[in-house]
Amino acid sequence: MKLKKQVTVCGAAIFCVAVFSLYLMLDRVQHDPARHQSGGNFPRSQISVLQNRIEQLEQLLEENHEIISHIKDSVLELTAHADGQPAPPRRDNGSWTLPPESRPSFLAVSPQDCQFALGAKGESPDLQMLAVYSLLPFDNQDGGVWKQGFDITYEPSEWDAEPLQVFVVPHSHNDPGWIKTFDKYYYDQTQHILNSMVLKMQEDPRRRFIWSEISFFSKWWDNISAQKRAAVRRLVGNGQLEMVTGGWVMPDEANSHYFAMIDQLIEGHQWLEKNIGVTPRSGWAVDPFGYSSTMPYLLKRSNLTGMVIQRVHYAIKKHFAASQNLEFMWRQTWDPDSSTDIFCHMMPFYSYDVPHTCGPDPKICCQFDFKRLPGGRINCPWKVPPRAITEANVAERAQLLLDQYRKKSKLYRSKVLLVPLGDDFRYDKPQEWDAQFLNYQRIFDFLNAQPQLHVQAQFGTLSDYFDALYKKAGIVPGMRPPGFPVLSGDFFSYADREDHYWTGYYTSRPFYKSLDRVLEAHLRLLSSARRNLGLFQHHDAITGTAKEAVVVDYGVRLLHSLTNLKRVIINAAHYLVLGDKDTYRYDPATLFLSADDTRLNQDSLPERTVVKLDASPRFLVVFNPLEQERLSLVPLLVNSPHVRVLSENGQPLPAQLSAHWSSATDAVPDTYQLSILARLPALGLRVLQLQKSFDGHSTLQSSVRLYLHGRDVTVRQQEAVPVQVFPAAPDDFCLESQHLRSCFSGSSGLLQSLRCAGEEREQRVSTEFFIYGTRTSKDKSGAYLFLPDGEAKPYTPKDPPIVRVTEGPLFSEVSSYYQHVQTVVRLYNVPGVEGLSLDVSCLVDIRDHVNKELAMRFSTNIESDDTFFTDLNGFQIQPRRYQQKLPLQANFYPMPAMAYIQDTQSRLTLHTAQALGVSSLGSGQLEVILDRRLMQDDNRGLGQGLKDNKRTCNRFRLLLERRSSASKVQDGRPVSFPSLLSHLTSMHLNAEALVLPVAQQPALPALRSFAPLSTTLPCDFHILNLRTLQAEDDSLPSAEAALILHRKGFDCSLEAKNLGFNCTTSQGQLALGSLFQGLELNSLQPTSLTLMYPLGTASNSTNIQLNPMEIATFRIRLG
């Protein structure tokens, strides 16, 4: 029984940490979270740990006396101030101020840790994409039969010494949702493709096929017989069938976050290992609309050795083809050596379909797509149909095809040629298998029997192709072939022809881009939720480029997963906060805790739960999904203004009371917003209690000024929150906190300037809204394309805005209500990360717009010239340059997490909680597209416009930082990093505290806060994921878990004064053994990213070392 209880406790703790290892780095160091449980006595052991750390730092940083003395002071003060809860604010000269933190903050960053961002000593790449963009004319000249290229010539004798080796790779591109839903595609097409594959591949051992989408493959696997499964394993085993990339989907690379990209890759790889016993070797991404350099990094760290990409700007393809640079080693911009290099093959022509893969002339290649034989449902647009291969015509047909193969081969450095053979949902009928495989085999047999042609042609898999290339080069897979270039950078933004830039999908359907991130912020444990999140990373899902009915299907799946995840978190939290675990009872009918908000439908915004107060105290459990303690304002709706908030041991906590508004002028009756200032343990649960109290000093009141701007509207207000109503617009005005002063336009209510505490200079940050139209010609903007009718025009609503200003001791905000957008700019008057940036949200509703796109633009006097910076997948930063020679739409880029502009003095970063399109169209500007409503298809296959807009809330943080040691030379480098504060700000924005009210009940058991971490992490470390692994027996939890850590790269040149949070770095050293409270780390096995390959042997040592920017996975066993 005792063993069973230990297993239960251990399981619950892993379960919790897995649920809780959510997304964020580090907000505090050197505080033992157990302090909250032990009544505030700071443990002596912790002090000795800190003092040891100081001695080490003194040896390393003798010159840095200031930091050392600061840490020493901190240790002394930490012992003096046991209770870390901030005291209530007080009024000073009419404005609210918070007393100094009872515990000091410090920033102790090792100088060695600052070196990384200053630049690597390694060799420069041969091809830097930023430089390539500057070099190219983008002149789009007519290239003849290869319209976007050039005429290719060759001498027949070129292959005499070394024959041409051709690998024809049959494939079928299966979108997990696009025109049809995932399930409908599966039932209508995919299952038939895979069933035919098993049958037809067994007919001839020379046949080959590749498959990439495990979401479809796993569904099919669940529905086939043991006999068919054995046949599949045989086909994989003998090299006829290859699983390429092996992710749950072929993910979009613009809008997806690296957490979700990795998670869907692990999900696919784990499934393959468990069911087929196979590990993918080659990557295949033919349909994402542009390529991020994050993906080659993830594939390399998963032990893949080669990859194929296709949708790259046609001008870049032409340039690389002319210089034989279509195959290269893709290296990360931040890599000091070559450890991130992966071999990449770029397809040279317009598409991955058969007309554009055999060679430069689509009219000829189409004649070798035997699905288009006369009598079928599809034909060749070039009006010359394929002909079945016979003995009579094989010589002529083979010669025609060989000419295309030779021309295509001239674009590459090796004498090995890759020729894909497939298209969307191909090979769904046995007749197509016969038509393609039999006709091609006749051609191959003919070619291979003619030694004077010097060609060897065959069906192959992707790895067959790469292995032959490596063999010719005399290297092992993964090494750099001699003479091949090294490339760094990415391939955004994509144009497939003319000025048709695929930059619209960076914003299309922002409601679902936001819902995706909400789900990520809750995700840790449920397999079905992981798979639904993985499905949504598909390049027609998160992109917003699927049919309306398919979008609804994705939305229902995401919402279902979110609801289930909240239930898991609620049940785990219930167990973990009980003082006596024996009292735990799971009753699905009456949950102990409730969710903080509910969503009625897949397309509705969340509605917050109102906590009803009565004579007995109400309790809250607040979950902090960050890996470190945070000081946050916890928002809550209550039904009474007479309330006070206490910690679990009865200490009063500061809380601000404000009205809850349903519109610009209507306060919701009997509902109030309570904002509680609370310190939350890392990845932990804090118990708070609410009591009804008629003592007027128990909460801090806020005051409201309402400016009606001449509009005749009725104001509904509440007695408890005084509102002053002004019929006219105010003069310009400012709000101030201990960290920031922000000034606003009286007429628009929008932000105009920002000044950090201690700075003399005010920074202009003026906010405006703009509208883009679309062209009047035949090509118009749609779900994929952004084709504006010129520069944006100022947004001119029919009525002036109503502006509401709320001021209080813990936060103040300005809300501006326009017809199509409501903005709220909030200043937090609290120490730490929350108070150092502006919180900006935009509630957008453009459902009455016709062919319009709404943009928000910040204009500053930062001298950024033509340079700006955007993130790739929340993982790394890519410098961008506004290219005057390109059309406006070409200068937009994806922004999954942040974008910034800078000069030698300042950096302004816009952090985002959802992926959107961003640009800097002029010096000192940042512009983000908030939503787009478009009435027509843009001729890329969707067959619909974007007319299913929702009310969408876009959330941002605006961070202004001073730069101390910047130089023009350093800023010209093709690599950049956020500051540590910027990383933390992003994480706070993306992982808000979760409020779980305890249900009202007669006899409440004793509740205790829960802190799972026993030590703090260095603040450049992030627990990306802690997920249980698939057990052999599906009915039992696995004894093993995967711990994925990321060490962030950061820039030390941004000054950080009065941060209000603690932060130290450790040169990448981390002791994992003592990380989890009450849990021992029994084993630690470093593995490849997706756990398919062990790296070295499992060690008793639990100390690890991680280089900046690296992501590392460990297979761990906790006990």
Residues recognised as catalytic? 287
Q: What is the rounded CA–CA span in Å between residue 1117 and residue 1098?
A: 11
Listed in order, strand segments (DSSP E) in 41-178 are 90-92, 95-97, 107-108, 127-128, 164-173
Listed in order, strand segments (DSSP E) in 492-553 are none
Q: What is the rounded CA–CA span in Å between residue 901 and residue 918?
A: 12
Q: Do the strands 793-794 and 802-807 form a parallel or antiparallel pair, or are they unpaired? A: unpaired
Could you give phi then psi for residue 330, rounded to 5 degrees? -90, 120
Helix, strand counts (H, E) of the chain: 21, 52
Number of neighbouring beta carbons within 10 Å of residue 653: 18
Q: What is the rounded CA–CA span in Å between residue 1080 and residue 901?
A: 45
Pick from 830, 503, 821, 822: which is nearest to 680 by CA? Answer: 830
Q: What is the rounded CA–CA span in Å between residue 651 and residue 764?
A: 42
Q: What is the rounded CA–CA span in Å between residue 1022 and residue 874?
A: 13
Task: Tell me the DSSP string of 233-299.
Answer: HHHHHTTSEEE-S--SS-B-SSS--HHHHHHHHHHHHHHHHHHT-----EEEESSSSSB-THHHHHH
977's tokens: 């990093």
Q: What is the rounded CA–CA span in Å between residue 331 and residue 876?
A: 13
Number of neighbouring beta carbons within 10 Å of residue 1105: 12
- The secondary structure of the chain in percent helix, strand, coil, rounded to multiples of 5, reads 25, 30, 45
CA distances from 741 to 93, 541, 573, 765, 925 (A): 16, 41, 39, 12, 20
Q: What is the rounded CA–CA span in Å between residue 782 and residue 827?
A: 37
CA distances from 319 to 346, 661, 1089 (A): 12, 57, 34
Cβ contacts of 449 within 8 Å, gap of 6 or more: none
Q: What is the rounded CA–CA span in Å between residue 725 and residue 718?
A: 13
Task: Tell me the DSSP string of 695-744.
Answer: -TTSSEE-EEEEE-TT-----B--TTS-EEEESSPPPPEEEE-SSEEEEE
Residue 47: strand, helix, or coil: helix
Q: Which residues pair with 677 in a beta bridge?
A: 633
The amino acid that residue 533 corresponds to is L
Residues found in the chain: 1119
Q: Would you say 757 and 782 are in contact if contact means Cβ atoms under 8 Å apart?
A: no
Q: What is the rounded CA–CA span in Å between residue 17 and residue 682?
A: 10
Task: Tell me the DSSP string of 1041-1067.
Answer: EEEEEEEPP--TTB---S-SS-EE--T
Q: What is the rounded CA–CA span in Å between residue 746 and residue 728?
A: 10
Half-sphere exposure (CA, 13 Å, Cβ side) for 909?
A: 26
Q: What is the CA radius of gyration of the chain?
A: 30
Pick from 290, 288, 301: which is nearest to 249 by CA? Answer: 288
